[in-house]
Structure 1
Amino acid sequence: MTTPCSTTTARFLLLGDSHAACVGQAARAANLPFAGGPVGSGRDFLGPFFDAEGTNGTEIRFRAPETQRLYRGFLDALGTGRLADLPVPLVCTFGFSAHTVATRQNWDVHRDRRGDLSTPFLRGTLFPALVKAMVRGALAFYGHTAALGLRVVAVMPPQRIPDMSDAQVFHAAQDVVRDEVAARGVEIVDLRARVSDRSGRQHRAFCLPNDTIHGNLAFGRLVVSELIDRGL
């Protein structure tokens, strides 16, 4: 869902995968004006997905035509012609599709004879290197936008772990992504302590019913509340 707004009212530009939907819904419910919304699925924003354009990369072009069309529409709604001139903060969920990174079969080669992933592997040097390679497109995006001097706020995902994903990898991988994104000068909205139980799984009150991946409106409201607290 998308909500284009004028430059006189919009408080932020929202770009993301499907995890951005509940954020947009909550912002609308709170009458918090913004532009943007989901522009693709989570896996679309892990590998390379954009190219820098213009002098010193002051503009970008998304490689997927529909994503590019939506993005340009959002900029038009904000009254700006290029990313470098964005008049509001950028709120983004790219790269935090942890359940995709944690797909079980991707990690089978690293399991021991019992089928487990060892703590030394998850805390070693190879695991974060693999995760960073898997999300290199998102990391490049955050690095590029932050280098343009934009205020960028990344939202960590709901703690939903579908059967296709390995819970150990899910939790460890999102820590890697969080740290790498923060190192690029991006603010992180991390609600895990507020929405999860002792096992690290999301409380049902913040889960979208009949869905194994997404947060619901209550989760989106927590994100929006955090954005407001940060002055957005």
Structure 2
Amino acid sequence: MTTTAPARFLLLGDSHAGPIGRAAQAAGVPFQGGPVGAGREFTDGFFTTHDTPAGRDIVFRSAEAQERYRRFLGELGVDALADLSIPLVSTFGFCAHFVALRENWDLYRDRSGAVPAVFLSSALFDAIVRAAVRDALAFYGHAVNLGLRVLAVMPPQRVPGQSDPAVFMAAQESIRRAVARLGVEVVDLRGRTTGPDGLQRPWLCGDDEIHGNLAFGRIILAELLDRGL
């Protein structure tokens, strides 16, 4: 999004960033950025760090993501991520439905076909999940080390049919804890957006199995504004 008013934040993320951007556009809240690819692209091996005369920066390995990223920085009038003077909002790494694909966890199922709760709360499970999203964690850590204010937005609580719901819930908790430990502000709105079953309320769901809609984006935007963005 290009805007003449000073942008309040830079939005970098996967498709879950879409409703946030649309909500900001609809509300006339100036920002820069948006989705730069699909969630599965931003877990492992998706960027490298780069030193420039203007400061430390990142380079996305995807040509499309890199082109969008450089365009966003250009619209902000900065040469590198280290020069950013506004908060960074991201959804990277929170594609828990991808981590929770049923076939990934068949080895750990008991005779009933379920992944045992004792395993889902184990250090081994936590380590596996963190390894699965290691570059997303590295991205957040790098941004924090640059001195940026970083906010990570948790995903819609929607579990597609090919994913295991119990693994989804446990995996996103592992990701949330790991991101928070890096000094990132985690935007966790589950208490306001889910029903008694812990899943996304229907009126906040998009037309597919995974995404939130504009109303969900508006709730996230309101939380960001409440945090001073």
TM-score grouping bracket, smaller chain normalisation:
over 0.9
How much has 1:120 moved relative to structure 2? Answer: 1.1
Paired position in structure 2 for 1:129:
127
Whether the 8 Å CA contact 1:111–1:117 is kept in 2: the answer is yes
Read off the aligned partner of 1:87 and give its amino acid letter: S
Deviation at 1:4, TM superposition (A): 2.8
Query: 1:27-66, aligned counterparts within 5 Å?
Result: 27-54=24-51, 58-66=56-64
CA contact (8 A) 1:5 1:78 kept: no
Whole-Å Cα distance in 1 between the matches of residues 147 and 45 of structure 2?
A: 21
1:227 maps to 2:224 = yes
Distance 2:80 2:12 in 1: 15
Q: Which residue of 2 aligns with 1:190?
A: 188
Distance in 1 (CA, whole Å) between partners of 2:165 and 2:8 is: 35
Within 1, Cα distance between the matches of 2:170 and 2:52?
38
Offset of residue 55 of structure 1: 6.5
Is the aligned partner of 1:101 residue 2:95? no
Are the counterparts in 1 of residues 22 and 217 from structure 2 also a CA contact under 8 Å? Answer: yes
Number of residue equivalences: 228
Q: Give the deviation of 1:201 after TM superposition.
A: 0.8
Amino acid at match of 2:116: S
Supply the AA of the counterpart residue of 1:11.
R
Q: CA deviation at 1:87?
A: 1.8
Letter in 1 for 2:16: H
Structure 2, unmatched stretches of 5+, are: none
Choose the corresponding residue for 1:153, options 151, 154, 164. 151
For the residue of structure 1 that corresponds to 2:74, the secondary structure is helix
Structure 2 partner of 1:80 = 78
Distance 1:18 1:82 in 2: 23
Residue 78 of structure 1 contacts residue 87 of structure 1 at CA under 8 Å; is this kept in 2?
no
**Which one-letter code corresponds to 1:26 in the other structure?**
A
**DSSP-derived class of the 1:58 partner:** strand
The one-letter code of the counterpart of 1:43 is: R
Select which of 171, 174, 177 maps to 2:172.
174
- 1:231 to partner: Cα distance: 0.4
- Matched residues in 2 for 1:187 and 1:47: separation? 21
RMSD: 1.2
Secondary structure at the aligned position of 2:186 is classed as strand
Residue 9 (structure 1) aligned with residue 6 (structure 2)? yes
Say yes or no: does 1:212 pair with 2:196. no
Instruction: Give unpaired runs (5+ residues) of structure 1.
Output: none
Per-residue deviation, 1:66:
0.7
Alpha-carbon displacement from aligned partner over 1:156-211 (angstroms, at most 9, x marks no partner): 000010101100010000001001001001001101111111111111010013x1
CA contact (8 A) 2:52 2:80 kept: no
Q: 1:125: Cα distance to partner?
A: 1.0
More moved, 222-231 vs 196-205: 196-205
- Structure 1 segments of 4+ aligned residues over 2 angstroms from their partners: none
Match of 1:23 in 2: 20
Q: Deviations over 1:25-73 (max 9, x none)?
A: 0001110000000000000001121000106971110000110000000
Which amino acid is 1:165 matched to?
Answer: S
Counterparts of 1:75 and 1:162, CA distance in 2: 34
State the SS of the aligned residue for 2:59.
strand
Question: Percent identity, aligned pairs only?
Answer: 57
TM-score (norm 1): 0.96
- Where 1:24 maps in the other structure, the secondary structure is helix
